[in-house]
Amino acid sequence: MNYARMVIEKEAPEEYGYDRIRFNLSESSIADQKLSDMGLSLPDLTLFYGEHRGDRELRALVAAQDDGLSPDDVLVTAGAAGALFIISTALLSERDHLAVVRPNYATNIETPRAIGCAISYIDLDFDDGFAVDVERVAAGLRPNTKLISVTCPHNPTGTTMG
């Protein structure tokens, strides 16, 4: 696989430097912080690698939200990027097609691209209030479309769908 970084990743605050950004109105990450800076003191905190699928008690709480699920049906990830990577690599192959409403998260574009998946883009338009046009999405589908990627609430515009 050949992962190509998107421009938005290269311009991320982590790379550009938080100290160089005066007003950050759209980025979802934050500068590194210490627990003591937030008034927290956790002297007995044990840090460890953890369970690969997530803490069993947490998975049980999540599973309890839906009848018929068990903790073994739940996978907890350490962030959205890991979960999105798992979704793409589990559902898509080089024989499949993906329709992406964009802008979208880099992981939802670059992971399928690295797999060799065909991708069609449905670009949102500022002049239309970044509204998703269902007919345009439908027109972007192919017989081998396996996944349609839409973010909601949409990042970075904040728009939502009814």
In this predicted model, what pLDDT tens digit does every residue of 143-154 receive, in sequence order? 999 999 998 877
Instruction: Find, among 106, 78, 85, the residue nearest to 15 by Cα.
Output: 106
The answer, yes or no, to whether residue 17 has pLDDT greater than 90, is no
**Per-residue pLDDT at 148:** 97
Q: Band the pLDDT of 29: cuts 50, 70, 90.
A: low
All structural domains of the chain with their residue ranges: 51-91, 93-162
The alpha carbon of 41 is separated from its chain's Cα centroid by a whole number of angstroms, namely: 31
In this predicted model, what pLDDT tens digit does every residue of 63-114 receive, in sequence order? 999 999 999 999 999 888 889 999 999 999 999 999 999 988 888 999 999 9
Q: Model-level pTM?
A: 0.68
Residue 102 is inside which H or E element, if any? strand 97-102
The answer, yes or no, to whether residue 125 has pLDDT greater than 70, is yes
**Per-residue pLDDT at 3:** 61
Gap between the Cα atoms of 35 and 20, Å rounded: 23
